[in-house]
Amino acid sequence: MRTYFLLIFSFSVVLLNAQIARKPSANYTTEKTDVKTSTSYLSEIKEYKDFYQLARIYNKGTLHEIPHILFAIDRNKKDEVYYINTPLYEFHLHFLNEILNRNYTPEDLKSYYKDESRRFILGTISYQSLIKQFTYEFWEGDKLTSGILASAQQAITNSFSATIVLKTNATQHEDAARKASVKYVTQEQIIKEYPYIPLNTGTTKGRIRIADNIEELTNISENDILILKEVPISIPTVSGVITERASTLLSHVNVLARAMKIPSLYLKDASQKLKPYEGKYVELKATNSGYTIHETAEVARKSTKKTRYSVKSDIRQSKLIPLSEMREKDYIYCGAKAANLGEIKAKMKNIIIPDGFSIPFAQYHTFMKQYGFYNQIREMEKKPEFQSNVDIRKAELEKLRAKIENTVLDKTTSQLWVEQWKSQLHGKGVFVRSSSNAEDLKNFSGAGLFTTVPNVKTVSGLEEAVKKVWASVYNFEAYESRRYANIPDSLVMMSVLIQHAADSEISGVMITKDPYDAQRWDLIYIAAKRGIGIKVVEGKRIAEQVMYSEKTKAVQIISYSEENTELRLAPEGGVNEIPLTEKTRVMSDELIAKLAVQGRKIKQLFKGDMDIEWAVADDKVIILQARPYK
C-alpha cells in the first residue's frame, strides 16, 4: 500500500500522448500533414469531402486518429466563418496574417482568447471517431463567455452541414455552455470510449496467461504476460500485464510495471481478442498509438541483473527524531519520506505538514538482529523452491511477516515511543507510516509497496502498528519489486513515521508536470477522491483527474469520481466507511489552483519535478509526502 495515500484508481482514462485531444496552439508543435488542396479556406462545409480536403490528421492510421480543421469567425463581418486549410496554415495566426492581410504577432493574438469584445473567434473542428461525432472546440485557455459561445454555435451550425456539437476543454467552457444552453460533450466522455490505453509502453516477450483475476493463477513465472479482467492490487515479477479494466499511471500495478520496466496496458475485451495466444510465447509491443502481438520462440528465463542499486542507511542514530528537527540530509537515518517532510516543514512556513516523529533505521535493525530475523531470512532465501516458485515465496513471506508482527517487544524500547507520542502529539490519533531506504531511488520509486496503519489511538495499538510497518519490508509486492530490481535485502532498512491523523475530506496526488508529454511544460496532473486515501488500494472506483495549466489557469477534467463511499476517522480508532450520496466534483477550480501553487513551491525547494501526496482537512491543504518524480 502506498504510504498514507496510495493513489490507485481504476478507469479507462489516460492515453499517454492523447489524454487531452490535441488542438493547434502557439504553445505546442503539431504533426505535419500533406496539403490536399490549394484552397485557402471554405465558407461552408457542405459535404464530408469538403472537411477532409482541409483536414490535418493527428495519430493517422491508429485507433486514435483525429482529423481536424481550424476555423475563424469574423464578428466584424456578421460572423462570417472561415474553414481553414489546416495543413497549409499550421496556426490561426498564419491564416489571419496571410489571407486577411493582418500583421498580428503571437502577443496580439492573445486578446482573441481573452477579450469578450474580440473580433475573431478561433477554434477547431474535429471528427471524433470513437463517438462518431463532429465536434467544435476551443483552446483550453480561451476565456469563453456564454455570449461568444452562442455566436459561434449559430455561425457554425448555419454553415456546417453535418450534425456538430461543442466539445469542452476546460471547466470554464462547461460553465459557458450551460449558461448559453448549448449542448456539449466532455473530454471525459470521449476518453471513456478508448478501446486501448498504454500506461507503460515497451516491448517484451513471454507466455500469455489469461484469468479473471490474479488469484486464479499459480506458479506465475517472470516470463509470463498476464491478461486479467480485474486490475490486481499487486503482481509478482512478470514480463507484462494487460487488463480489461484500466488503471491510471499511478495505479499500484502500473507503479510496479514501471519499476520492472514491463508493458502495462488496458485493452477492451483482451481475454477474447488474445485468446488464440493463450499458453503461447509471443512478442508484445505497446506504443502510444497501439499494440502489436505475434508468436515467437520460447524465451529463456531472464538472468539476474548484475547492477545493484545504492541503498544507504546509517544505524548509529537510534534516538527518536521529531519532524521539526529533520532535514533532507537526514534521509540516511529515517528515509527520504520523513526527511523531505521535515525539509518542507522547516523551509516553507505557509505549507502545512502534520506534526510527527521518526523511529529511525537503527531501531528496526536492532529488532531484526535481536530476534534472529536476519538469520531466518538468509535461510529462507537459500531454499531452491523459494527462489523458483512464486506461490511458495508468497506463502513464506506471509509467515515471516506474521512472526515479526507477533514478536513481544522489549517494553523499554516501546515505552519511548509512547512517551514521545504523548508528550509531542498529546496522545491523539496518529498514522503509523513507512519511510524506508528502498524508496525514491534513481529509476525505482518504491511507491505503494509498504504498509500504513491509520488512526492509532491506544498504547497497544501503537506497538502493533510499528511492528506491522516493519514487517511490510517483506510484503510480497515489495519483495518481488526489489528482487527484480536486484536491491539487496540485507541493505534494506525501515524507519517508521508517526504523524497526527488528519480526518481528510479529500485526498489526492499531484505531479508537478504533464507525466504524459514533456512538451506540455505548463501542465500539472492532479487526482483526488473524497475522504482518507488509503482505501483506493483496491482500485475499483474512478477518481477525479484533471490537468491544470499554470500558464492559462485552465482546468481540464479527464475523469469525474464515481466513488460511492469514503473513509473517515473512527472515534474509537481506525476508519469508518461512509456511503456517499453526492455526485458532485471532488475538487473546485479554486482548490486546484491552490494545489498548483504549493506544488510549484515544493518543486522549487527540491529543484525538480515532484510526486506529491496531499489532503484537505478542516478546509486546509496539508502535504503528506513529496518524492522526486522521475
CATH of the domain at 282: 3.50.30.10
Q: Which of 348, 380, 195, 340 is nearest to 272 (CA)?
A: 195
% residues pLDDT > 90 (the chain): 64
* Nearest-angstrom CA–CA distance, 561 and 230: 19
Going from the C-alpha of 284 to that of each of 14, 17, 206, 265, 555, the distances in angstroms are 20, 20, 8, 11, 36
Does 486 reside within a domain? Answer: yes
What count of other Cβ atoms lies within 10 Å of the Cβ of residue 196?
20
Residues recorded for the chain:
630
Instruction: Examine the pLDDT at 536 and tell me if it is beyond 60.
Output: no
Going from the C-alpha of 153 to that of each of 41, 134, 611, the distances in angstroms are 19, 13, 40
Residue with cell 473517515: 568
Does 468 reside within a domain? Answer: yes
Does 2 reside within a domain? Answer: no
What count of other Cβ atoms lies within 10 Å of the Cβ of residue 207?
19
SS3 551: coil
Among candidate residues 136, 164, 190, the one where a domain is terminated? 190
Among candidate residues 500, 528, 556, the one where a domain is terminated? 500
Which residue type is seen at 464? Answer: E
The CA-CA-CA angle for residues 123, 124, 129, to 5°, reads 155
What count of other Cβ atoms lies within 10 Å of the Cβ of residue 351?
18
Instruction: Examine the pLDDT at 28 and tell me if it is beyond 70.
Output: no
Least confident of 11-20, 389-398, 590-599: 11-20
Least confident of 148-152, 225-229, 289-293, 465-469: 289-293
What count of other Cβ atoms lies within 10 Å of the Cβ of residue 339?
24
Which residue type is seen at 136? Answer: Y
Specify the pLDDT at position 301: 59
Does 7 reside within a domain? Answer: no
161/228 same-domain check: no
Average pLDDT, the chain: 87
Specify the pLDDT at position 442: 64
Specify the pLDDT at position 564: 86
**Three cell numbers, residue 155:** 455561425
Q: Which residue has the higher pLDDT, 467 or 20?
A: 467
Q: What is the pLDDT of residues 350-378, one digit of tens each?
A: 999 999 999 999 999 999 999 999 999 99
Confidence of residue 86 (pLDDT cuts 50, 70, 90): very high
Over residues 404-409, the mean pLDDT reads 96
**Three cell numbers, residue 545:** 483527474
SS3 251: coil
* Nearest-angstrom CA–CA distance, 166 and 485: 48
Among candidate residues 261, 295, 329, the one where a domain is terminated? 295
Does 6 reside within a domain? Answer: no
* Nearest-angstrom CA–CA distance, 129 and 371: 63
**Three cell numbers, residue 333:** 537515518
Number of domains the chain is built from: 4
What count of other Cβ atoms lies within 10 Å of the Cβ of residue 201?
16
* Nearest-angstrom CA–CA distance, 411 and 407: 12
The per-residue DSSP string of 494-545 comes to EEEEEEEPP--SEEEEEESS-TT-TT-TTEEEEEEEES-GGGGGG--SPPEE
170/75 same-domain check: yes
CATH of the domain at 565: 3.30.470.20
Going from the C-alpha of 630 to that of each of 19, 310, 311, 449, the distances in angstroms are 20, 17, 17, 17
115/177 same-domain check: yes
Specify the pLDDT at position 429: 97
**Crossing angle for the helix pair 390-406 and 459-471, to the nearest 10 degrees:** 150
180/291 same-domain check: no
pTM of the predicted model, to two decimals? 0.82
| Per-residue H/E/C for 296-346 | CCCCCCCCCCCCCCCCCCCCCCCCCEEHHHCCHHHHHHHHHHHHHHHHHHH
Residues 6+ apart with CB under 8 A from 272: none
157/93 same-domain check: yes
Instruction: Examine the pLDDT at 5 and tell me if it is beyond 50.
Output: no
CATH of the domain at 485: 3.30.1490.20
**Three cell numbers, residue 172:** 470554464
Q: Which run of H or of E encompasses 122?
A: strand 120-128
280/325 same-domain check: no
Instruction: Examine the pLDDT at 488 and tell me if it is beyond 50.
Output: yes
**Three cell numbers, residue 414:** 516501546
Residue with cell 499458453: 279
517/604 same-domain check: yes
Does 34 reside within a domain? Answer: no
Burial of 460 from C-beta contacts in 10 A (0-12 / 13-18 / 19+): exposed
512/598 same-domain check: yes
Confidence of residue 514 (pLDDT cuts 50, 70, 90): confident
SS3 624: strand
Structural domain of 435: 321-500
Does 407 reside within a domain? Answer: yes
Least confident of 242-246, 261-265, 277-281: 242-246
Does 28 reside within a domain? Answer: no
515/446 same-domain check: no
* Nearest-angstrom CA–CA distance, 10 and 231: 7
91/55 same-domain check: yes
**Three cell numbers, residue 536:** 483506493
424/347 same-domain check: yes
* Nearest-angstrom CA–CA distance, 338 and 625: 8
Residue with cell 499494440: 291
355/483 same-domain check: yes
Least confident of 153-162, 254-263, 317-326: 254-263
